[in-house]
Amino acid sequence: MVNIGEISKFIAFVFSGLTMFFVLAGLVRNDVRFIESGRRSIYGAALFITLSSYALFYLFLTNNYQVEYVASYSDRALPLFYKLTSFWAGQKGSLLFWSWMLSLFAAIVAFRTRKEVPNKNIPYVYLVLAGCIMFFNFLLLTISNPFDLLSFMPADGKGLNPMLQNPGMIWHPPTLFLGYIGFTIPFAYAVAAMTTGKLDATWVKQTRVWTVISWIFLTIGIILGGQWAYVELGWGGYWAWDPVENASFIPWLVATAYLHTAIIQEKRNIMKVWNMVLILLTFILCIFGTYLVRSGILESVHDFGPTGLGGYFLAFMIALFIGGVYLIVESYGEMKTDSTIESYLSRESTFLFNNVVLLALAFSTLFGTTFPIMSEIVTGKKITVGQPFFNQVNTPLFLFLFLLTGLCPLIGWRKASVDNLKKNFMIPAAVTIIGAVTLAAFGFTEVYPLISFSLSIFVIATIIGEFKRGTKARMKLTKETALTAFPRLIIKMRRRYGGYIVHLGMIIIVIGITGSSAYKIEEQATLDKGESMTIGEYELRYDSFKYFKKWNREIYAATLTVFKNGENLGTISPERRYYTNAKQPTTEVSIRSNLLEDLYIIMPGVTQKEQITLSVTVNPLLAWIWVGSILMVLGGILAIIPKRKKRLAE
């Protein structure tokens, strides 16, 4: 099976090379048959890299520890589903996964465009996709081979890091990768459009679904990463502004900016240059993300350490950057449009300012992430830029962004009249003022939380207003009742209202983040059996202690009874775990969650006399982060559900 994996990987590399060769030959000779051959070669690359990936899965499942990668990330005691997820636990496997998914995506594009081969842009799309596949396959063939063999057969593997033995491992890395990989498709179409000069909104429309799907995957990946970090002690809570977390957040911000201005290009055929810049930047930043994880230039609990791949990814990024700048400069004249943004009071204008803030956030995060390197170069001193820095610098920018999120729906396209704006603005503004005053009256007087909650109210009010206006208009037009008109409005205009649902989800996340970060409380205590500790309105009584073995771990668990204002809410059981392959014990968090607050308990210490040390936190409104996240993803999915094709007779 090792040979199958090795050979398939090589054949996949050859097929990606053949794609490039045939497409280039087709372009030079102006012969569609060559391009068709190139298109079919993409299927070959996808097929053989799939075979190679199957081989690696097989080697994990059959415990073939002579394969160095399998021995490093698996052992006999590892549960089956973690053996499967070990595929992407290390650098080499994750790179194979990247190449595999990219080839499959490219094969989907090749299949969907099978009747468009004579189209001027399509050969260049194939060329770019094949180039990217070839780059990744080259790395797999040369310095990052997951099929490398050890000179002996170890009796067992080293096993998977205990922190990776979490359900998050099943979904978080693949979804994040799919997000990164997906942006290769709009990037390829953008390059093709600039190369051929077909610079109208066609490429934006053709890639809209790919862009939104990639954005959804990236969003899911980031959220699942946050959820995993929250439940797995040692990764700093749901968001720690760790360099690798930032590496996924930066392209997400730029892609979000692009999603907004792409709408303007579709509707008004303007901002062509800007959209090109954004999509190129998004793709380069996706590569930058994987460069950070694999280069070892920054210290992070998430990275793979130095892998020898840094230089290759750096070179790839530089090539992408130079090529991108060259194409933009070359086609700048053709991309300049006659149409313009006509007024500050227009939706286009608010989209532009929203883009500026999103890019400022991306820049600030990128700058903070790489500042330790800059500081070391300039001053010779190694400094750390962590969570408090990003909170301090990015919070005002986020608040500005929320303000724009609220303002945007109030302003119409092209040029809104002041009277119209006043009319739309009045109710949300009044509601926000009442809300802010009420909050302040109840003691929420800290500046940032008050502004954040007030802006959240403002955005929610504007979104509710939009839903209300739309429902009323539909009721008037169709004579439907509100209960019928409301869901039909959302279904009929799913792109628009899907977008609003995404915004609503985002604001719900903001409320959760504000509540849980500004108003959390924490206590620590050491307890003997029968003793209690108090935190806020909660009382925790330590009742019993048990030891048991499960799969590849020994577990020490304390049972605590939770009381709130004297009412018994049941038991909760934080754990200490000793994994067979780990040198240090791990601490499993125990969480009691509802919409109002999370009771978050960890047990950092246990003595032989079964005395336990507890560290307890009450995180207000934290569950809102997950609720908002689900809404964001659902809104995104709603926005890309295709419309039913109208019959010709209609």
* Interacting residues with other proteins between 379 and 418 (CB under 8 A): 379, 381-389, 392-394, 397, 400, 412-414
SS (H, E, C) 300-363: CCCCCCCCCCHHHHHHHHHHHHHHHHHHHHHHHHHHCCCCCCCCCCCHHHHHHHHHHHHHHHHH
Q: Where are the alpha helices (DSSP H) in 30-158?
A: 32-61, 68-73, 80-85, 91-112, 122-141
Contact between 311 and other proteins by CB under 8 A: the answer reads: no
User: Closest CB to other proteins among 16 and 587?
Assistant: 587
The amino acid present at 577, given as its one-letter code, is R
Q: Tokens in use for 78?
A: 């590892």
Within 136-155, which residues bind other proteins (CB under 8 A)? none
Contact between 524 and other proteins by CB under 8 A: the answer reads: yes
Residues in contact with other proteins, total (CB under 8 A)?
91
Within 65-104, which residues bind other proteins (CB under 8 A)? none
Contact between 519 and other proteins by CB under 8 A: the answer reads: yes
CB of 186 to other proteins, least distance (A): 20
The amino acid present at 485, given as its one-letter code, is A
Contact between 296 and other proteins by CB under 8 A: the answer reads: no
Q: Which stretch binds other proteins (CB under 8 A): 115-123, 141-149, 538-546, 596-604?
A: 596-604
Within 196-235, which residues bind other proteins (CB under 8 A)? 233-235
Phi, psi of 431 (to 5 degrees): -60, -40
Among 584, 608, 642, 650, binds other proteins (CB under 8 A): 584
Contact between 168 and other proteins by CB under 8 A: the answer reads: no
Nearest to 127 by CA among 34, 211, 220: 34
Nearest to 572 by CA among 527, 603, 609: 603
Among 10, 398, 444, 563, binds other proteins (CB under 8 A): 444
∠ CA 633-287-120 to the nearest 5 degrees?
Answer: 85
CB of 208 to other proteins, least distance (A): 13
User: Closest CB to other proteins among 323 and 536?
Assistant: 536
The Cα 260–Cα 614 span in angstroms is: 46
User: Closest CB to other proteins among 375 and 559?
Assistant: 375
The Cα 66–Cα 83 span in angstroms is: 16
Among 148, 299, 528, 543, binds other proteins (CB under 8 A): 299
The Cα 257–Cα 285 span in angstroms is: 14
Within 457-516, which residues bind other proteins (CB under 8 A)? 457, 460-461, 464, 468, 470, 473, 493, 495-496, 515
Q: Which stretch binds other proteins (CB under 8 A): 327-335, 378-386, 545-553, 640-648?
A: 378-386
Phi, psi of 227 (to 5 degrees): -65, -40
User: Closest CB to other proteins among 92 and 172?
Assistant: 172
Binding mask 348-367 for other proteins (x = CB under 8 A): -x--xx--xx-xxx-xx--x
Q: Tokens in use for 627?
A: 């609720």
